[in-house]
Amino acid sequence: MTRQQCASLELVAERLRALGHPRRLLILSALMQEERPVGELAKLLDMPVVSVSQHLKALERVGLVAGRRSGRQVRYAIQTPLVQEICDAVCRQAERDCAQSRQRMSELSELRAALHHPVPSGVSPTSKS
């Protein structure tokens, strides 16, 4: 593998790591609707401004969001539409996984019920017919 390929893979890994935090996903979700300043994001997501700022810097460092000055505020926006496509694809897969898990749980519940037949009242579990 060449040095350039390694550098490219590291950039990909950095972006994926940046997407790997639940709070950052919340921030990106809010930014998918419209660009917003830090204070508005903090209020909307019920997070401390300092925390939102730190997460935005991490997302900005890897090129997923960008800030632009608007008066005294910096308004943040998603830098690439691929962010939404990636999030949508991962969410669709998670929904499929959850649906499969619910189906498995339902099947296990039915199996458990079948294995543990309630004994009719007045019948001893050890009595033979």
Higher pLDDT, 116 or 76: 76
CB of 59 closer than 8 Å to CB of 48: no
Q: What is the pLDDT of residues 69-103, one digit of tens each?
A: 989 999 999 998 888 888 888 888 888 988 888 88
Tens-digit pLDDT profile for residues 8-45:
888 888 888 998 899 999 999 999 989 999 999 999 99
Q: Fold for 3-79, please state it.
A: Arc Repressor Mutant, subunit A (1.10.10)
Domain boundaries, the chain: 3-79, 81-112
Band of pLDDT at residue 124, cut at 50, 70 and 90: low
Buried b (16+ CB within 10 A) or exposed e, 81-114: eebeebeeeeeeeeeeeeeeeeeeeeeeeeeeee
Cβ neighbours of residue 18 under 8 Å, at least 6 residues apart? 24, 58, 59, 61, 62, 64
pTM greater than 0.85 = no
| Of 8, 9, 91, 23, nearest in space to 59 by CA | 23
* 3-class secondary structure, 105: helix
